[in-house]
Amino acid sequence: IFLNVFDVHVNRSPISGTITGLFYQKGKFGNAMSAGSSDANEQNVVTVQGDGQTVIFKQIAGLLARRIVFNPRTGDRLERGQRVGLIKFGSRVDVLLDENVDIQVKVGDRVAGGSSILGELRAGQSRAEGAR
């Protein structure tokens, strides 16, 4: 999810669950739209587990966006759509979903935090609601 300077920069939890991993990685401040920025740029990597699924999301700094804010801590309980942080002046958020999720968006789609459904668990899974 690419954020430009005109977008809302608030980041929200994609699922309800508990933070089981939180890792801050120092790195570069390259263009967040480049393919390598997901690995090379400064970022905060958050793992959330809940209702039989795991979601990892990365707050990735960019060329102008050099300030990542994330307030929750490992062990904290998050609700789906809860505000958890922001990346000042735009950048990128990667959301990594379990393989049992049917992706509901495609490259180039515009999404709105807290209301756009990114994916839904396949039928027969432990949770019926989608990750937002």
For residue range 46-65, list pLDDT tens digits in order. Answer: 999 998 888 889 898 887 66
**R_g of the chain, CA atoms, integer Å:** 14
Using CA atoms, how far apart are residues 35 and 75, in angstroms rounded to an integer?
A: 31
> For 67-100, how does the pLDDT look when each residue is reduced to its tens digit (9 = 90+)?
888 999 999 999 998 999 988 766 777 777 778 8
- 126 catalytic residue (yes or no): no
* DSSP tag of 67: E
* Residue 96 burial (10 A CB sphere; 0-12, 13-18, 19+): middle
Per annotation, catalytic residue among 13, 16, 34, 91: 91
Q: Which tokens hold the place of 129? A: 């609601």
Question: pTM here?
Answer: 0.70
At residue 113, does pLDDT exceed 60?
yes
